[in-house]
Amino acid sequence: MKNYNQTAFNISIVIAVLAVLASVGGLLITDLYNDNDFVKEAWFVNDFITLIVAVPLLITALWFVKKGSLRWQLVWMGMLVYTAYNFAFYLFGGAFNVFFLVYVALFSLSGVGLIIGLSNLDIQQIAQRFAKPSPIRWISIYLLVMGIMLLLAEMSMVIDYLVSGNIPETIENTDHPTGIVFALDLSIVVPLFLAAAILLWKQQPWGYVLSAIMLLKGFAYGLVLCIGTARLAYSEAYGKWDPLMPLYVVLTLGGFLGLWVLLRNFKTEE
């Protein structure tokens, strides 16, 4: 008997195909992006990580979900969050290009697939499969710290603008009129980090699910931030290290280790 939603599964296959198309196109079509050099460097890293990490993880998750794995359903949902978040930048934060409709499809399908997939998860059964006691306290503290650090890092730049009128460097570097990074992180990512931390601390069923999703998202997109920061540091488009690099490293390593520990305490399906 299937323990997953077939519609969400089929949508995810389409997402994987479109993500490959978008990434390969971005890496091989030299004149695809109409953004400045700073943003083009970022797109290159996004495309690279999506192609060699995100898509293989999504496909692997779908493979094991097809075989009935509840553990890999959490990875599946986490990768849908990654694709939705990642391609929101292309859709709302990039200059218009010929792949616009591909970005529309990837963003909207990721959202629809995530809603359908989460609504069909057996949350109670998943929560019951985590071994007791499991090191959820440490993981919830990590998620809380990450949420607060991200909140403080970005709010400090927003408040500085409100007080002094200094536009955040991130916005100036992209030549984009809006702060999409701040918009997505402060309205979605930070609240989800904090909610996951609180619910996991209370050992609520949704806490396990949200924590796995945010740990995976932190790891996958943390890779983008780490590699992108290193690439930009040695590029003519930027030429210096982002002072938030230590946060990106902690986000990546902590996300990977936290997810590994969390899923390691997930009882294997019989």
- pLDDT tens digit sequence for 66-124: 998 999 999 999 999 999 999 999 999 999 999 999 999 999 999 999 999 999 998 98
CA contacts within 13 A on the Cβ side of 231:
17
The C-alpha atoms of residue 212 and residue 151 are separated, in whole angstroms, by: 20
Residues 6+ apart with CB under 8 A from 101: none
User: How far apart (Å, rounded) are the C-alpha atoms in residues 183 and 157?
Assistant: 13
Q: Report the pLDDT value the prediction gives residue 55, as an integer from 0 to 100.
A: 98
Domain ranges (residues) in the chain: 6-264
Sign, Cα dihedral of 234, 240, 241, 242: negative
Out of 96-100, 132-136, 173-177, pick the least confident. 132-136
Considering the chain, what percentage of its residues have pLDDT values greater than 70? 97
- Mean pLDDT of the region 149-159: 96
pLDDT band at 134 (very low <50, low <70, confident <90, very high): low
pLDDT at 47 over 90: yes
How large is the average pLDDT for residues 260-267? 89
Output 128 or 112, whichever has higher pLDDT.
112
Phi, psi of 168 (to 5 degrees): -55, 140
Q: What is the pLDDT of residue 133?
A: 66
Q: Give the lowest-confidence range in 39-43, 129-133, 193-197.
A: 129-133
Name the pTM for this structure.
Answer: 0.93
Tell me how far CA of residue 250 lies from CA of 25, 59, 93, 145, 226, in angstroms.
31, 26, 25, 11, 10
Backbone angles phi, psi at 123, to 5 degrees: -60, -45
Among 1-5, 127-131, 134-138, 217-221, top mean pLDDT goes to 217-221
| pLDDT single digits (tens) 197-235 | 999 999 999 999 999 999 999 999 999 999 999 999 988
Give residue 245's Cα distance to chain centre. 17
What pLDDT was estimated at residue 75?
96
What's residue 37's pLDDT? 92
Residue whose token pair is 């094991």 = 64
Contact at 8 Å (CB) between 104 and 88? no
Query: What pLDDT is stored for residue 270 in this prediction?
Result: 44
Q: What mean pLDDT, rounded, does the chain reach?
A: 93
Q: pLDDT tens, 52-64?
A: 999 999 999 999 9
Find out whether 138 and 215 touch, Cβ atoms under 8 Å.
Answer: no
